[in-house]
Amino acid sequence: MKLLRYGPPGAEKPGLLDADGTIRDLSGVVPDLAGEALTPEGLAQIAAADPATLPKVEGNPRLGPPVAGTSKLICIGLNYSDHAAETGQKVPPEPIIFMKANSAIVGPDDEVRIPRGSVKSDWEVELAVVIGKAAKYVSEDEAMDHVAGYCVANDISERAFQTERAGQWTKGKSCDTFGPLGPWLVTADEVDDPQALPLWLKVNGETMQEGTTGTMVYGVRYLVSYLSQFMTLLPGDVISTGTPPGVGMGMNPPRFLKAGDIMELGVEGLGVQRQVCAAD
């Protein structure tokens, strides 16, 4: 299934994309794509509904982030060896974990605001994993039982805030609008192998990133198990799994986002995002 949330910010409704590409309203089936709705039981309830009987959503409504009630957005740094190399860093012996503020989460096509004082805002296309079943101390063999599905993420980063000022990466990652998710949550049963997905990103029509999740250092199964050793992963939590090479900071000379730039990005089978940058 391709699940989504549509409507104005803060007032999104749950929906489903049917086989014809029509949005169907799920409000009569689940209150939102959050919590219990993302569990195996909740997804089974949604799957049992006949899309043809669900109300059609007319027009082209705004799409919000495809999950709600996210308690944490966890990101993995330097998880592609070729991306680590372009930034001049070594592949870490364990996953680098950092948090992105939930207030950064926006819809897939929402405007991206370049923060005040920014000189090095950058792009990062990523595969995001959405948790559907609480995970604590799970093994790698059990890990995939806790995944509801996947979506596209853009881990937008202000590099000067991130690496040139004292402290942790979080302040360079958490600016408002720096966490676009969607357009859809594609349930895990529709993704045969999360480690075999091409992903790409363009800025103003020019391809910047092309890669595959097959070159991740730490794969989805490992990451879910690993993170569950340190914190309980809850339904609706999102893991952004890292980016392939081609980010602005790795170019010679470096290139960064400015107001008016347009980012387009996608992961095969998971849809496409499009964001226009504007000054905050």
Pick the range with the lowest mean pLDDT from 78-82, 201-205, 224-228, 234-238: 78-82
* 128: CB partners within 8 A, 6+ apart: 150, 151, 152, 153, 181, 238, 239, 240, 241
Average pLDDT over residues 137-154: 98
* 141 shares its domain with 43: no
Let me know if residue 161 belongs to a domain. yes
Q: What DSSP string describes the chain?
A: -EEEEESSTT--EEEEE-TTS-EEE-TTT-SSSSGGGGSHHHHHHHHHS-GGGSPBPPS-PPB--S----S-EEEEES-BHHHHHHTT-PPPSS-EEEEE-GGGEE-TTSPEEEPTT-S-EE--EEEEEEE-S-BSS--HHHHGGGEEEEEEEE--EEHHHHHSSSS-THHHH-STT-EEB-S-EEEGGG-S-TTS-EEEEEETTEEEEEEEGGGBSS-HHHHHHHHHTTS-B-TT-EEE----S--GGGSSS-----TT-EEEEEETTTEEEEEEEEE-
Let me know if residue 65 belongs to a domain. no
Q: What DSSP string describes 194-205?
A: TTS-EEEEEETT
* 264 shares its domain with 208: yes
Let me know if residue 68 belongs to a domain. no
Task: Indicate the pLDDT class of residue 169, thresholds 50, 70 and 90.
Answer: confident
* 265 shares its domain with 203: yes
Let me know if residue 61 belongs to a domain. no
* 87 shares its domain with 25: no
Per-residue pLDDT at 207: 98
Task: Indicate the pLDDT class of residue 231, thresholds 50, 70 and 90.
Answer: very high
* 23 shares its domain with 109: no
* 258 shares its domain with 197: yes
* 89 shares its domain with 177: yes
pTM reported for the whole predicted model: 0.96
Let me know if residue 140 belongs to a domain. yes
How does pLDDT run across 47-63, given as a tens digit for each residue? 999 999 999 999 999 99
How does pLDDT run across 178-188, given as a tens digit for each residue? 999 999 999 99
Task: Indicate the pLDDT class of residue 88, thresholds 50, 70 and 90.
Answer: confident
Query: Looking at the predicted structure, is the pLDDT value of residue 85 above 90?
Result: no
Task: Indicate the pLDDT class of residue 163, thresholds 50, 70 and 90.
Answer: confident
Per-residue pLDDT at 32: 98
Per-residue pLDDT at 137: 98
Let me know if residue 203 belongs to a domain. yes
- Chain-centre distance for alpha carbon 36: 20
Print the domain residue range for 21. 2-53
Residue 138 belongs to a domain with what CATH number? 3.90.850.10
Query: Looking at the predicted structure, is the pLDDT value of residue 226 above 80?
Result: yes
Let me know if residue 42 belongs to a domain. yes
Task: Indicate the pLDDT class of residue 65, thresholds 50, 70 and 90.
Answer: very high
Number of domains in the chain: 2
* 126 shares its domain with 248: yes
Let me know if residue 60 belongs to a domain. no
* 144 shares its domain with 226: yes
Query: Looking at the predicted structure, is the pLDDT value of residue 84 above 90?
Result: no
Query: Looking at the predicted structure, is the pLDDT value of residue 116 above 80?
Result: yes
Task: Indicate the pLDDT class of residue 17, thresholds 50, 70 and 90.
Answer: very high
Per-residue pLDDT at 34: 98
* 6 shares its domain with 111: no
Query: Looking at the predicted structure, is the pLDDT value of residue 233 above 90?
Result: yes
* 273 shares its domain with 214: yes
* 217 shares its domain with 138: yes
